[in-house]
Structure 1
């Protein structure tokens, strides 16, 4: 069904009619109508912001805020919300960068998290990070940015995954909390280790997956 939705409309902006259809697609199937009154916008560090999926109108406002770069954690498929974002970023002189999908409800490879950390290192400030709701993937990216680039404490980084941003560890996305909890435990057990090095040397993806499976079946 989702494939049929994309084929029928929402994957083309070549005419005014197609653009209107893409906007409707974003509202109906990506729940953009909810984001007209809720942006989940927050500055996590000087010149670094987080939010949910921005509309073209919000991207225009972000230009006025001085935002130079937007990092989307939603991939680069040619579907309505991505097409509208690309068009708006081009119109307002904002560089749009897309990352590998990190996942909100599953533990990814350590290399994927390292890729995200390294990618954020390259972004021109002020920049903004977003996923769909700005809750889970964006929260994890924000936590990793604070740990890697701001030398934040693990306690402060974990605040990026909280109900304040509509993240709830009791849901499947709690696997992200488990990953940060595991890092915190290793800090206590073995002493300081940069988060990037931890993902390459001590991160146990299989354990994280097992935690999710155990919690789901309990």
Structure 2
């Protein structure tokens, strides 16, 4: 029987020291083995979603350099948030070497966003240097919701066009806990149901005045049914 230690009881992770041979080797193991980076060596889930924005999964140091040299990337948005793990430290180092601004903007794949996070995303899109690339681990869910927000808030495209960023094309699965991201945007569409498109309430006005985060999540969980088992089978982050 395998004994699983609760996260609250686990020892804090000690960051590998990239200045030492041993530390750099451990960082590499944390990237390619611990974070499944070996699966991303030949598959980066890389897509250009506008002339100035790309989306992808977690890049390796070599891929970071390639983004700078081949695509002129000036900013990388890390949607996973900062960590002491090797995959993050190596990405940060590569960004510094390539002259890329690394911005940590943590998103969540199984929670609807807060009002504050939506407005912070709007402000972020207005201040970063472009061309830019956003990534999470797989490039499917957190990159998906952020890409929809980018399309709505920066490009101001129609709702249906923006929602294409949350689809199987990018490996997003809505029939599980990550479907709460779809539920968030669908609540906005439901609020405007029956109105001509030109009379839809502006998205940010709805977020500020009408969006009920707790209600969106509760309704989604009620409809989810057997969704959690799918997430367990796929071992999704």
Corresponding residue to 2:210 among 202, 213, 218 = 202
CA drift of 1:215 comes to: 2.9
- Normalization by structure 1: what TM-score? 0.91
Corresponding residue to 2:82 among 70, 73, 76 = 76
- Tell me, yes or no, if structure 1 residue 113 matches structure 2 residue 121: no
Question: Which residue in the other structure is 1:193 paired with?
Answer: 201
Stretches of structure 2 that go unaligned for 5 or more consecutive residues are 227-237
Q: Is the 8 A contact 2:112 2:216 kept in 1?
A: yes
Q: Is the 8 A contact 1:69 1:125 kept in 2?
A: yes
- Tell me, yes or no, if structure 1 residue 213 matches structure 2 residue 221: yes
- Whole-Å separation in 2 of the counterparts to 1:180 and 1:216: 16
Deviations 1:181-200, CA, capped at 9 Å, x for gaps: 11122233563333222221
Asked which structure has the greater CA Rg, the reply is 2
Indicate the SS of the match to 1:173: helix
Q: Is the 8 A contact 2:16 2:24 kept in 1?
A: no
- Normalization by structure 2: what TM-score? 0.85
- Tell me, yes or no, if structure 1 residue 21 matches structure 2 residue 21: no
Regions of 4+ moved over 2 Å:
1-7, 185-198, 215-218
Question: Which residue in the other structure is 2:158 paired with?
Answer: 153
| RMSD of aligned residue pairs (Cα, Å) | 1.8
Residues 1:131 and 1:97: Cα distance change in structure 2 (over 3 Å): same
Stretches of structure 1 that go unaligned for 5 or more consecutive residues are none
Question: Which residue in the other structure is 2:97 paired with?
Answer: 91
Residues 1:31 and 1:94: Cα distance change in structure 2 (over 3 Å): same
Indicate the SS of the match to 2:96: helix
Q: Relative to structure 2, which stretch is displaced further, 67-76 or 104-113? A: 104-113
